[in-house]
Structure 1
């Protein structure tokens, strides 16, 4: 028979461990000497000591969850309670008890921290909702739209609240965005309607201009053409695809009339030569407006130059294409700047791009959540497979975000 302070082996090979409740059977040893038996079970004890030490370190220095820590503690405690080791088992149990207290303390700390984060997230989301509802009443279509998109990104970066609270706040947030989008859509729909009204008005002006082009009533017809030109300017711009064609017909009809009148009043050639000089100076003045950096200022300046241009009268026929071409080039550049501004504020195209971006962002967020869940469950194979899918979705999202930037969003 062999023994040490914490255990012994009797003559039958049965190994015992000493506890406060008396001796407990550890196991039976028939493969060698009693000393070897005690050494074997003492090593198992040392293994438990090492395992507890490692767990203590993990609880203290890592983000091991309370649930996982508790599972590990119960696993070790079962081994201690089953008395399959020789050593001071009571000391190990005491260390486990302290470890349980530490885990419980950390659980409460994390619970308090989570509650604090939830309160902060709630306050942040309520602030976002309040700002969104204020923006919903704005008529600064571009800046307000950009700010609302930024608020969506901020919202996505905040933690979720309880489902009821989160859904209620999101409903208000989403309703504010929808209200703004409807108002903006109505605004631009009104602009479209105005352009359509301008097209119809200019078609009527073109029809009358073409009907007058062969008139020989020089004074009255010229006066009427001036009135038609005033009406043309007052009508506003039609859709781009119609504007140039209508203008060419309108201007062409006037050209026919005024060319005929020029033939009759050849004596006015000297006056027209002076007109050419003045218009060349105005064309040079207009060309200084390019490139367009301030659209509103350029448009106003060109309008002022053009009014002086129209007041000058005609120039020699052979010189007209060149000098008018210079003015038309400036006008086209300003029109192109206007169209570029329109495209940047086009709500439907931006909405489609934003919708696609939102769908892809939701898919990326969902995949990330699935990957985290798979990792937490220890299913690395599934997590790796989802990670590859996430790479593809992320690439599509990056491409969609780049496209959205073209709208200034």
Structure 2
């Protein structure tokens, strides 16, 4: 499978997502322009920025369905790896796979940002149109009110108007009612604080008071909203003062957008980008982010499985993957409450013990990790033994660089491996 075949496979995977304005042939041609560069990226000869370029191109082609991200990530993590390194037994397989995961993370991050920008652009366009129509009401009342009403009723985002002297709702559209979970007929004449409810008003209350007093002209933020039925949503709420031709405040315009799906997608993509797809453990990126954020004394245990290559060679990669998943589960169970395990790639795992009390605790953790891997693994009814070499380091993160720490545990691990092989 070459670059063109990859584009065809990708376009096929996107079938069923929200239809763009392009034909299937045009989609294939669009993706074909990235094929060779994506293959080169997983092979380490091209910058990862090509993934972000591909994401921007798909968003520009009107792919707005989260399903497009999900299927694209699968293509990048599976089909692209197969194309770049068809033989899982080759030496470059794991590096290619790791780069493919990083490539997918770059793609997902850019796609999410593109979705957010598109949604915010729509919101800003709607708000600007509503404000423009309202400000022209005095001069062209008949025409302006007709335009505003059309925008008001047909907008896909929630719009409401508020009396600036009383803080009471004047009118809302159906989209606003759906977002807040309150019937449109029940909102006019009620204070905004009463509609949002005490559990939701929070930060908005102070901002709303500053808006009514004239201290600020607008505010905007995201907040969790609890509907009257108890369900929760995430809404993007903005409120703006509308002034007449003499600069006097006339009323307030509020706009709400339900961003729950976008927020959940962003959270899911963040999780996928920071966790190993096979074992579910934190990956290299998340581990080093966690390590960089720690303070004080920490302990690190670096594990490299012994005998794992033989499992792959004799039982196949499916059996190897099963062993890796079981290793991850055993490491989780052996961790202290303040410990975190991650998979660096291949058969390499690492454990961080935050606020480690000293060498005695670190040795106890290390012994526990090795003991957890001592029992044989059941692979398709066959008993398989896989040990581990382990290197440990106890350091003060306030005075030790991350690369120095990793060099210390890496050296200790290989020393342990050499001793095991000698025995």
TM-score interval (norm. to shorter): under 0.3
TM-score, with structure 2 as normaliser:
0.24
Which has the larger share of helix? 1
Which has the greater radius of gyration? 1
TM-score by length of 1: 0.25
If each structure's strand is expressed as a fraction of its own residues, which one has the higher value?
A: 2
Higher relative contact order (CA 8 A, sep 6+): 2
